[in-house]
Amino acid sequence: MATTAKLQVENNNPVVAIQGLLRGLLENESIGGVLVPVHHFGKSMPMPTLVTDPDQLSGADPLAPAFPMNSAKLLSRLTRGQTGERIAAVLRPCEIRAFVELVKLNQGSLDDVVIVGVDCMGAYKNTDYRTFLAGRDPFEATLAFHGDHGGTDKPDAGGVELSAACKSCEHPSPANADLIVGLAGADLRDALPVLADSARGEALLNALGLPAMGENGRAKTLEALVKVRTEHRDAMIEATRAVTGTLTDLSEYLSACVNCYNCRVACPVCYCKECVFNTDVFEHKPWQYMGWAKRKGSLKMPTDTIFYHLTRMAHMSMACVGCGQCSNACPNDIPVMELFRTVAARTQESFGYVPGRSLDEPPPLSVFKEDEFQETVSHMA
Amino acid sequence: MSSEFEPTILAFVCNWCTYTAADLAGTSRMVQQPNLRLVRVMCTGMVDPKYIVKSLLSGADGVLVSGCHPGDCHYINGNYKARRRVKLLNEILPQFGIERERVKLTWVGASEGNEFAATVNGFINEIRELGPMEARSMAVV
């Protein structure tokens, strides 16, 4: 394993080079379609698109610093059940990790999908991406974002900052992919290394007939990137803890929440088919509201905001991959990603669980051992 | 103030073991403080974390989850699942100032009426000592 092929870059344009790679995959008889972000209408947000015609890959921009949604959920739709054809999916590392979590819950399958991971340099919030584009051609903007050398965070490119989730993401390199485009450390005007990370990927890469490529400093670049981001993450967690240490603080932190549940909709690992907060459990009667209000003299409406967020933490924090789509989706700019990652850091550590790391690790709340967590149980007599 | 504070405790007890023990404690006329509200569930394995969270946000000062001893579960392993869920809440709730002591998990078998009374009385005393839940005085929850 661990073949590294050389993807030649022409005209200083790595995006076109990756389009060429995808075209090569699509022309391979075993791949029927490619899921990849595509600029429709020649501008604006690149949306995940299932491309089956190689000619339509000209709009594909997998390097755009835009992240409209976590594609893990879309891939789940494409792989639940059979199409009879294999597809390739170009995903960010956090999308792969979220998809692995969904596969563990039988909400997707890796059987008929080839995962193409790209080293992730981060993305802007949806609203910031528009500011970043500033009317430019999106492909030009993508190239300007990455510059000549892959792998250095450019948080201030275009006058807007990368999303907080990306700045504090310690997983810039894809895990559990079949093929990896090694953006980090690459000279983007010259060539990109394509690494095979599974037997399946190896076979596909060999079929493409690309020349071999040597070490180009990717590991070192990634290491430096992880260091910066980990520091950022730790500072973020500390800052969040400092302002959410009591229930009153938490309530204030979430005070702009309008119970729209967008964070739940955007969350790739909020896995329930029907959320309890959408059921008539919460169809309270007018006299109930009056009763609750009278008990304390007032009642904030809509009710159950803290309840909703605490429940979500209990349900998804173990699987939180830190993609930040919750914050991206929040209409009131509540830093929910920071909150959920802070909680997840502790819950995941306590169960020794890293979401998306391995298909062989079952979700902690789906299994148990007979002899564990004795300190959780009290003994009176 | 804490001398006047009377805690409200909600207990999720399993039908097969702890509820039966509660019944036994009652019929045996064991002295129990009246601060407890019992919710009978078929198994502690069905106690979703959100039930506990909702209780604490809606006026309970402490929540007891009590089921069969390991190996005795009527549904074979529900109590082990409950243990993981309570463990999870033990990690989440203290981050927001909700003391770990407010959520208690115990195993009380059907014949252990005295154990049930002791557990309940002990827990009520602990929470009386700890003071009221912050959510009681919050208009915004």
Question: What pLDDT shows up at residue A84?
Answer: 84
Give the confidence band of A81 by pLDDT, cuts at 50, 70, 90: confident
Residues of chain A found within 8 Å of residue B81, distances taken between Cβ atoms: 365, 368
The answer to whether the Cβ–Cβ distance between A376 and B53 falls below 8 Å is: no
Q: What is the ipTM of this complex?
A: 0.95
Is the Cβ–Cβ distance between A334 and B75 less than 8 Å?
Answer: no
Query: At which residue do the structure tokens 């998306």 appear?
Result: A356
Q: A243 — contact with chain B (CB < 8 Å)?
A: no
Question: What pLDDT shows up at residue A1?
Answer: 47
Domain boundaries defined on chain B? 9-137
* Stretch A326-346: mean pLDDT: 97
Q: Select from A276, A343, A370 the Cβ nearest to the Cβ of B95.
A: A343
User: Is the pLDDT assigned to residue B113 strictly greater than 80?
Assistant: yes
How far apart CA A175 and CA A173 sit, in angstroms, is: 7
How far apart CA A14 and CA A150 sit, in angstroms, is: 10
Question: Own/partner pairs for A272-280, CB < 8 Å, 24+ apart?
Answer: A272/A315, A276/A311, A276/B50, A277/A304, A277/A308, A277/A311
Is the Cβ–Cβ distance between B95 and A342 less than 8 Å?
Answer: yes
Residues shown for chain A: 381
How far apart CA A112 and CA A79 sit, in angstroms, is: 7
Per-chain mean pLDDT for chain A: 93
- Strands B103-107 and B62-67, by their bridges, are parallel
Mention every residue, 6+ apart, whose C-beta is less than 8 A from residue A248.
B134, B138
Give the confidence band of A44 by pLDDT, cuts at 50, 70, 90: confident
Residues of chain B found within 8 Å of residue A350, distances taken between Cβ atoms: 87, 91
Is the Cβ–Cβ distance between A65 and A162 less than 8 Å?
Answer: yes
Give the confidence band of A165 by pLDDT, cuts at 50, 70, 90: very high
More confident residue, A288 or A41: A288
Is the Cβ–Cβ distance between A96 and A359 less than 8 Å?
Answer: no
Question: What pLDDT shows up at residue A28?
Answer: 87
DSSP type of residue A282: G
User: Is the pLDDT assigned to residue B2 strictly greater than 50?
Assistant: no
User: Is the pLDDT assigned to residue A349 strictly greater than 60?
Assistant: yes
**CA distances from residue B18 to A29, A128, A211, A249, B51 in whole angstroms, order as listed:** 62, 56, 69, 36, 18
- Angle of CA points A41, A26, A184, to nearest 5°: 75
Q: A232 — contact with chain B (CB < 8 Å)?
A: no
CA atoms within 13 A on the CB side of A65: 35
Q: Provide the percentage of residues in chain B whose pLDDT is more than 90.
A: 92
- The CATH number fitting domain B9-137, selected from 3.40.1000, 1.10.10, 3.40.50, 2.60.40: 3.40.50
**CA proximity to B8, closest of B131, B138, B139:** B131
Q: B61 — contact with chain A (CB < 8 Å)?
A: no
How far apart CA A19 and CA A54 sit, in angstroms, is: 9
Q: Select from A255, A276, A368 the Cβ nearest to the Cβ of B83.
A: A368
Phi, psi of A180 (to 5 degrees): -125, 130
**CA proximity to B32, closest of B129, B121, B110:** B121
Q: A244 — contact with chain B (CB < 8 Å)?
A: yes
Strand partners, A359: none
Is the Cβ–Cβ distance between B80 and A368 less than 8 Å?
Answer: yes
Q: B115 — contact with chain A (CB < 8 Å)?
A: yes
**Tokens read off for A164:** 């907080």
Domain boundaries defined on chain A? 4-230, 244-368
Mention every residue, 6+ apart, whose C-beta is less than 8 A from residue A58.
A19
Is the Cβ–Cβ distance between A117 and A179 less than 8 Å?
Answer: yes
Is the Cβ–Cβ distance between A76 and A47 less than 8 Å?
Answer: no
pLDDT digits (tens, 9 = 90+) for A177-210: 999 999 999 999 999 999 999 999 999 999 999 9
Strand partners, B14: B41
Residues shown for chain B: 141
- First-to-final CA distance of chain A: 59
- Mutant choice from B87, B102, B112, B133 vs A, greatest count of A C-beta within 10 A: B87
- Give the DSSP H/E element, type plus range, for residue A309: helix A305-316
How far apart CA B66 and CA B82 sit, in angstroms, is: 9
Residues of chain B found within 8 Å of residue A373, distances taken between Cβ atoms: 83-84, 87
Give the confidence band of A153 by pLDDT, cuts at 50, 70, 90: low
How far apart CA A272 and CA A197 sit, in angstroms, is: 31
DSSP type of residue A352: T
Strand partners, A187: A149
* Stretch A38-56: mean pLDDT: 92
pLDDT digits (tens, 9 = 90+) for A278-321: 999 989 999 999 999 999 899 999 999 999 999 999 999 999 99
pLDDT digits (tens, 9 = 90+) for B68-89: 999 999 999 999 999 999 999 9
How far apart CA A351 and CA A319 sit, in angstroms, is: 11
Is the Cβ–Cβ distance between A280 and A323 less than 8 Å?
Answer: no
Q: Provide the percentage of residues in chain A whose pLDDT is more than 90.
A: 88
Strand partners, A4: A195
How far apart CA A380 and CA B94 sit, in angstroms, is: 22
State the amino acid at position A215 in one-letter form: E
pLDDT digits (tens, 9 = 90+) for A221-265: 999 999 999 999 999 999 999 999 999 999 999 999 999 999 999
